[in-house]
Structure 1
Amino acid sequence: MLRRTLAVILTIVAVLAAGWLALRRADIPYDTLETIYATPDSQFMTLDDGLKIHFTDTGPQDRAAIVLVHGFSASLHTWDAWKSDLEADFRVITLDLPGHGLSRAEDPANANIDRFVEVVHDVTDSLGVERFTLAGNSMGGNTAWKYALAHPETLDGLVLVAASGWPEEEGEGDDSPFIFTLLANPLAQAVLKDLDMTSLTRSGLEGSYTDQSFVTDELVDRYVALSRAPGHRATLLSIMAGERQYATVETISQISVPTLAMWGRDDNLVPVSGAQKFGDAIPGAKVIVYDAVGHLPQEENAVQSIADLRAFMLEVEWNALDDEVIIPAGDPRMSENRPEEDSPN
């Protein structure tokens, strides 16, 4: 009987091991990924510490600049619609954070918001961008508001797109995609680290959009493939396991730059209540909430979010011109329609 039980146990272990090996997926070399996911505007820079960063820098170099920072497990591709529209009138910079997209990974222990703030600063400094509007989605929004606290002197404006950072209240986060709950578990991380994550990734993306037509095979394949770049899976798991530095009203109220918070009302990842929290805490902040939109307004509601962003940036630009007082003769901005001031009534 003991031998039979032992044989059954060994058989089960062998089957599980065989299944694990069958589902195991190796890293994909950066060279291979670059041939597929680099864009005609892709550039790479090596920071002083040796980290190689993937970025784009398009649009008129002498116009107001905007820097766009993606969220957890995403890449600069999430900003394609915004970039395509804005680059006609603004200098537009997008980048992949370390361990994301086509940027190289570094020590997973460095994968945290403070490091991402440092990388954004190093990239803009290397490009000679002295002042800019900073926009970030989700984890990129967390990076953006922490950047605003660390380097307010460099910012013309701050755009928080479903930005993370506030602690969840009771009942919030109950509809979050299962993959995020699973990856927060250390045991699950150890088991799943090298396995095929296609199904779980698709599920997570389905929870990120209200309109499921956005969740195409191409989108899922891109998320999965880029997560398999060397070191990227370790980076993502380290972020999930890392200690959180949550926003507080006392901290956020110190942000002094013009701020726009935009959110999807049906966001299952970062509760829409965060929009008003930022609006209440940041002096003069504006809040826009889009109905029937999920966690990625820059994709799912591109047209309206671009229009709202343009209005915000134009107002920020005119305010900057007011501070400078002098507008050179022939400056193209003289022909633009200046936004009307809010009525005092």
Structure 2
Amino acid sequence: MAKRLTKIMVFIVLGLLVLLIALIALYWAADKSVADLERWQLPNSEFVDVQEMQAHVVRSDKCEMFRNQAKINEAVNASTSLPKTVVLLHGTSASLHTWQGWTHELSDDYCVISMDLPGFGLTGPYTDESTQYDSANYAKFVIDVLDHLEVGRVTLAGNSLGGKIAWRTAALYPERVNNLILVDAVGYPATPKQVPIGFKLAKYPILTPLLSRVLPRDVVKKSILSVYADDSKVDEALVDRYYDLTLRQGNRLALNRRLLEMDNTANQAQIKQLNLPTLILWGAQDDLIPVENAKLFHRDIANSQLKVFDNLGHVPHEEDPVATVKVVKQFLLGEQIDE
């Protein structure tokens, strides 16, 4: 009887091993270099040397004009701030491309700057492997990019992880932020209705060697679907972008570290200390960070306005850029927002 059980266990282990090998062979996905991902560079993409990384940054045409005006102001001891500069920060596993709709709508009137944060997009992971993927280090990265671009005070907008980085930057560097725009932002405890499967898997260190070598495209697609309210808006081109940029060399390992080192619910006390005009945008169909958290931000930030979009999910700026940026334009003009 014991021998029979031993044989059965051996067959089960061998079967699982064969299945694992088959899955690895089927879903093997090698890292890609920035050169391999050139198709995802935009016409105005640039790579700036920040913290020994080549940070992928995109600036709209108005930025150079505003920068020259700031230099003129400095020469005559006038204000050197750039109140018409809007900086956009993406969320976990996204990239600066998520803001293309907003950038298109805002670029006629504003200097719009977007960037791939460390560990994502074409920027890739921190060169210094000892650097943690926490909000304080991300805030420092944002400031270093702005310093490199010679940009002073800005309106800072962020979605999800980028939202936390935005309000942390405002808290840590208040002299650099005029206004805040928080889009389905991280900051308070949340019980997600569903979590992207890629996030779930990346939390297990034992899977890191495997996850850094394989990437089922269907997992990426399901993760995107989980943050959209309208599945019909998730087309193959969108999935291609998220899939390809996840393969950027080092990004998969960085995602694993990010999810292990995240400080999502830390520093909440700083939210109540914020004292600047703030617009809070939220998708009511957000299954990752519930709309109740939007109300917490609105409660704790004295000078804030809240707008909820009934039919949008966790990335409302990407799912419906036209409707969401319309509210942003009103806010930037100092108008009162209808809830």
Q: Do they fold alike, i.e. is TM over 0.5?
A: yes
Q: 1:271 aligns with which of 283, 287, 290?
A: 290
Once superposed, which parts of structure 1, at least 4 consecutive aligned residues long, lie more than 6 Å away?
A: none
The separation in 2 between residues aligned to 1:6 and 1:248, in whole angstroms, is 49
Which region of structure 1 is more displaced relative to structure 2, 242-251 or 120-129? 242-251
Structure-1 residue corresponding to 2:140: 118
Map of 2:151 onto structure 1: 129
The answer to whether residue 40 in structure 2 is matched with residue 37 in structure 1 is yes
Q: 2:177 aligns with which of 141, 144, 155?
A: 155
Distance 2:268 2:26 in 1: 49
Distance 1:45 1:279 in 2: 35
After superposition, residues 1-345 of structure 1 pair within 5 angstroms as 5=8, 8-9=11-12, 11-12=14-15, 13-34=17-38, 36-47=39-50, 49-61=51-63, 62=66, 64-106=84-126, 107=129, 109-168=131-190, 172-247=191-266, 250-315=269-334, 339=335
CA contact (8 A) 1:249 1:281 kept: no
Check conservation: 1:108, 1:235, Cα contact below 8 A. Answer: no
How far 1:294 sits from its partner (Å)?
0.4
**Counterpart residue identity of residue 53, structure 1:** A
Against the structure 1 CA distance between its residues 15 and 276, is the aligned structure 2 distance closer, same or farther, given a 3 Å change threshold? closer
Alpha-carbon distance, 1:275 to partner = 0.9
CA deviation vs aligned residue, 1:33-62 (integer Å, no higher than 9, x gap) = 02x100101011011x31110011113232
TM-score, normalized by length of structure 1?
0.85
TM-score, normalised relative to structure 2: 0.86
- Closer/same/farther in 2, CA of residues 207 and 18 from structure 1, 3 Å limit: closer
Unaligned runs of at least 5 residues, structure 2: 67-81
What's the CA shift for 1:92?
0.4
What is the total number of aligned residue pairs between the two structures?
314
User: CA contact under 8 A between 2:188 and 2:268: conserved in structure 1?
Assistant: no
Q: Which moved more, 1:231-240 or 1:13-22?
A: 13-22
Aligned to 1:318: none
Contact 2:133 2:262 in 1 (8 A): no
Q: What is the identity, as a one-letter code, of the residue corresponding to 2:168?
A: K
CA RMSD of aligned residues (A): 2.2
* 1:288-344 C-alpha deviation (Å, 9 max, x unpaired): 1001110111122222211110111111xxxxxxxxxxxxxxxxxxxxxxx5899xx
Cα 1:270/1:76, change in 2 over 3 Å: same
Change (3 A) 1:60 1:200: same
AA aligned opposite 2:61: G
CA–CA distance in structure 2, aligned partners of residues 5 and 340 of structure 1: 70
What displacement does 1:184 show? 2.4
CA contact (8 A) 2:305 2:337 kept: no
Counterparts of 2:268 and 2:257 in 1: how far apart (Å)?
27
In structure 2, the residue corresponding to 1:241 is in which secondary structure? Answer: helix
Q: Structure 1: 5+ residue runs without aligned partners?
A: 316-338
Q: 1:58 & 1:205 partners in 2: Cα distance?
A: 27
